[in-house]
């Protein structure tokens, strides 16, 4: 069921039993006056009627990268099932569409190599041409370069950061002008528990995800004045396709001192594929819940393993800060003022 008021669509409306408009909630798009006489914004898309009676829930336009497999596919399916309009992107759009079951009314499949700003700008423009806006960006695409630092080639290190850090930066750079114009939006970026906790054999991957953490945490302050929210997602081990051969690259270089460790470590990582405890479909549902919140969390730690690890790291950092006081507290100029 859809309703119109004064030629504008309201994504959140509350009606009295006799059909009188009691409230039209916060939204974005073409400006209209709400019942209090203040200027509000409203979506130019229709909104599905919910089972709760005279209540309408907002149908969002959700832009998802890396939609052809793993968590990305689960995100697209969950968003469509929830009544949202979805832009599903990937390097091979024909494979994305096939994986998702073919064309659908609420689905736009677009080619996007996230390392290309031109690809990102083209995909965003097509999305706006089709749906009129972008409400939620989920930066999901990424890959994994494993190995001890010295055995990961400089080219591999650069490629890892190009994909996992500059990739989501490219897509976000293309989307933000749309969200600023709307004065509304939500940027969700998939980081990792490895963006908080360094670990063996993950120097390149952790470097890229620590970079994501710093960028997203700082980006928050840049775009908050335009009513654009941010959420960093730190998953633990989920049964996605991150560890399949097409997503994981092993070290190109070989150094004798590492030889007895490298081989067994690679086999250990390979053996984890398909055995991770986390369910990506449940993670997708959790992220859709966050995307629908008016005040989403700045950081979402996903999975019991990740929560335990991040708590331990937080305690470790606190202890290190306290231990630094004796030597680090009194390093200012004598005449410096607080």
In our burial notation (b when 16+ CB lie closer than 10 A, e otherwise), range 152-179 reads: bbeebbebbbebbbbbbbbbbebbbebb
Residues present in the chain in total: 338
Do the Cβ atoms of 148 and 253 come closer than 8 Å? no
Tell me the two tokens of residue 8. Answer: 């504008």
**Residues tagged active-site:** 205
Dihedral sign computed on CA atoms, order 226, 28, 114, 206:
positive
Query: Around Cβ 44, how many Cβ atoms within 10 Å?
Result: 14
Q: Which position has the token pair 């120097």?
A: 203
Dihedral sign computed on CA atoms, order 28, 65, 79, 210:
negative
d(CA 6, CA 35): 12
Angle formed by the axes of helices 167-182 and 203-223, nearest 10°: 10
Q: What is the DSSP letter of 48?
A: P
d(CA 317, CA 47): 46
d(CA 187, CA 42): 19
Tell me the two tokens of residue 334. Answer: 């004598």
* Helix runs in the chain, H state only: 70-81, 93-99, 117-131, 154-161, 167-182, 203-223, 259-272, 280-291, 304-323, 325-328
């Amino acid at each position: 069921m859809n309703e119109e008021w004064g030629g504008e669509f309201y994504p959140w409306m509350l009606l009295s039993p006799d059909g009188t408009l009691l409230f039209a909630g916060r939204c974005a798009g073409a400006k209209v006056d709400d019942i209090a006489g203040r200027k509000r914004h409203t979506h130019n898309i229709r909104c599905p009627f919910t089972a709760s009676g005279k209540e309408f829930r907002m149908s969002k336009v959700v832009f998802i990268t890396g939609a052809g497999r793993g968590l990305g596919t689960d995100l697209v399916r969950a968003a469509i099932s929830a009544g949202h309009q979805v832009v599903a992107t990937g390097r091979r759009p024909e494979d994305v569409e096939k994986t998702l079951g073919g064309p659908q009314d609420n689905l736009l499949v677009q080619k996007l190599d996230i390392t290309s700003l031109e690809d990102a700008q083209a995909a965003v423009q097509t999305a706006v041409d089709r749906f009129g806006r972008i409400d939620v960006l989920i930066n999901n695409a990424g890959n994994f370069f494993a190995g001890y630092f010295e055995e990961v080639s400089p080219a591999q290190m650069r490629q890892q950061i190009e994909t996992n850090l500059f990739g989501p930066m490219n897509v976000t750079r293309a989307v933000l002008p749309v969200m600023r114009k709307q004065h509304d939006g939500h940027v969700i970026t998939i980081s990792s528990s490895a963006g908080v906790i360094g670990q063996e054999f993950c120097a390149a991957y952790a470097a890229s995800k620590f970079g994501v953490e710093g960028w997203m945490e700082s980006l928050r302050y840049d775009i908050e004045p335009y009513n654009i929210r941010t959420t960093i997602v730190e998953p633990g081990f989920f049964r996605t396709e991150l560890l399949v051969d097409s997503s994981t690259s092993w070290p190109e270089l070989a150094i004798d001192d590492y030889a007895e460790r490298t081989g067994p470590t690679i086999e250990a990582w390979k053996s984890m594929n398909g055995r991770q405890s986390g369910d990506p479909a449940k993670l997708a549902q959790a992220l859709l819940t966050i995307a629908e919140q008016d005040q989403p969390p700045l950081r979402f730690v996903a999975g019991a393993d990740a929560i335990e690890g991040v708590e331990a790291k937080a305690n470790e950092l606190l202890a290190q800060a306290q231990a630094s006081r004796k030597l680090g507290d009194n390093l200012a100029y004598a005449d410096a003022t607080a």
